[in-house]
Structure 1
């Protein structure tokens, strides 16, 4: 099990001259998760070209299971998808690594999009920046937030964020043409173990005990929790949004709100079409 120590080198990444804030956390059912991934691809391109400063984008999606590419290799994938749909979830495949995760109204997603400029950003440095930001946001609680793989969680990785062995967040990265998007999902409220149970059942139905070359995770719902459960204090997405903005302000630089604009709107159409086509291909669905 890999456990990371604090990396102070992550701090310069958070000390940007300007942070462009794009808040899409209250868009509701009209905002599709595929649009969200296309938006991050658009911002990666824009930031990488120098057309935009660093971006902090926040987003929430309703009742969506986001599969990783490996998940599409389950021997009984369609049965697994049918199960998820029977539980009221929409199912998509994301364009970055990892395995299945749950998105719902109690999960806040944050994307930090950095320019690489002359010097490339080491992959761990991007992860460390998000870990550092998360610790700063919740520094008033008397709990240590660790970054290490939590065995039995869904989408396990060496940068699972946990408190006392219970995972509440996972981090991924996406890199396009000089832009780096570091993405985190934060389980803010409701039951972390119930979310994990849904993913656990998906794998059971999708595998039916068949042996596969890739070792899909064996889910233990007890190792996952929401921050509200861990802190024993009810938090909302709005509460955490305020904490995020305060933390970014304390790291310095100018903060300003903005939507996509100009050439970015054309780029979004292009990236969204690519994401749609890829999603349909991976799920073997017709348009």
Structure 2
């Protein structure tokens, strides 16, 4: 098992903050673009054209579905309900199931090279340990195990006292990996979970399915602010992420996309849009 600090402690680490603006297109900046951006960065890191990268991103009123969600028997009805409630809906290209994003949820992508020599579990463990390190002055109680009845349940759910505040997915492209986490920092976590619960109720209608979809209980989900009884904000977490990166990496640089990365991004965006054609307009 590789030590997470060794995975993070590169001579140079790249930092990109896409939490407030889209740097590339005139069209509306959505989670669709974020997954294309992470793919482009994973390719760039794989090809040694970029150092390892930490990217921060936030999207308003968005439900990100997993690939299995698109096979729900009444997916069109479920998506229509979400859109009527004011949510943008995207199917991502990494693992997992439906999650809720808004201005109180910070997404962090850690993009590593040479992952042919790094197991999928080691990628997850690196993110878990990085978040534990980032919050180590506030709590030592963050654990990683599946929280039953949470949305997007998995072995690397992050929780405190059995209540989940974060989930991790991973996307591998060639010899690069984007390990992505959503952090429920502030706001109404009960409402977020209720929206996902209702989506599954409408999209499944009690029918039996080959895939096991979660029965979501909003009471097992919680924000970090509530769990720690500390008024944390997304901006607070952004500062913590940067400070943690500065402590474990020798140099941190902020650079824009190169022409090659932009070309990768445009191709991956086309692929993401094609993947999302199953979602009704």
The alignment's TM-score, normalised by the length of structure 2, stands at 0.95
| Cα shift at 1:8 | 6.5
1:252, distance to aligned residue in structure 2 (A) = 2.6
Is this contact kept in 2: 1:191–1:229, CA < 8 A?
no
**Aligned match of 1:17 in 11, 16, 20?**
11
Corresponding residue of 1:75? 73
Stretch moving more, 147-156 or 119-128? 119-128
- In the alignment, the residues of structure 1 paired with residue 119 and residue 5 of structure 2 have an alpha-carbon distance, to the nearest angstrom, of 13
Is 1:129 the equivalent of 2:126? yes
- How far apart, CA to CA, are the structure 1 residues paired with 2:175 and 2:261? 16
Q: 2: CA distance between counterparts of 1:251 and 1:11?
A: 7
Q: Secondary structure at the match of 2:3?
A: helix
Offset at 1:138?
0.7
Aligned residue number for residue 245 of structure 1: 242
Q: Which residue of 2 aligns with 1:102?
A: 100
CA distance in 1, matches of 2:11, 2:244: 15
Counterparts of 1:101-180 in structure 2 under 5 Å?
101-116=99-114, 120-180=117-177
Displacement of 1:277: 1.1
Matched, 1:234 2:228: no
Q: Per-residue deviation at 1:190?
A: 0.7
Shift, 1:82, TM fit: 1.2
Displacement of 1:179: 0.5
Residue segments in structure 2 that go unaligned for 5+ positions in a row: none
- Are the equivalent residues in 2 in contact too, given 1:143–1:163 (CA < 8 A)? no
Instruction: Give distance in 2, aligned partners of 1:56 and 1:258.
Output: 12
- SS of the residue 1:23 aligns to: strand
Structure 1 residues not aligned, in runs of 5+: 1-6
Q: What secondary structure is seen at the aligned counterpart in 1 of 2:117?
A: coil
> What RMSD in Å do the two structures reach over aligned CA positions?
1.5
Correspondence for 2:39:
41
Q: 2:63 aligns with which of 65, 75, 93?
A: 65
How many angstroms apart in 2 are the aligned matches of 1:27 and 1:105? Answer: 13
SS in 2 for 1:174: strand
CA distance in structure 2 between the aligned counterparts of 1:204 and 1:84, rounded to whole angstroms: 12
CA offsets, 1:86-119, max 9 Å, x none?
A: 21101111111110001111110000111117x5
Could you tell me how far apart the structure 1 residues matched to 2:182 and 2:129 are?
Answer: 15
Count residues in correspondence.
277
Between 1:147-156 and 1:256-265, the stretch displaced more is: 256-265
Distance, in Å, in 2 between the alignment partners of 1:231 and 1:71 is: 32
Cα distance in 1 for residues equivalent to 2:80 and 2:275:
20
- TM-score when scaled to structure 1? 0.93
Deviations 1:210-247 (A, max 9, x none): 11121210001000001011111111111111101111
1:212 aligns to what SS in structure 2? Answer: coil
Q: Which residue of structure 2 aligns with residue 203 of structure 1?
A: 200
- In the alignment, the residues of structure 1 paired with residue 156 and residue 169 of structure 2 have an alpha-carbon distance, to the nearest angstrom, of 9
Secondary structure, counterpart of 1:173 in structure 2: strand
For residue 268 of structure 2, what is the aligned residue in structure 1? 271
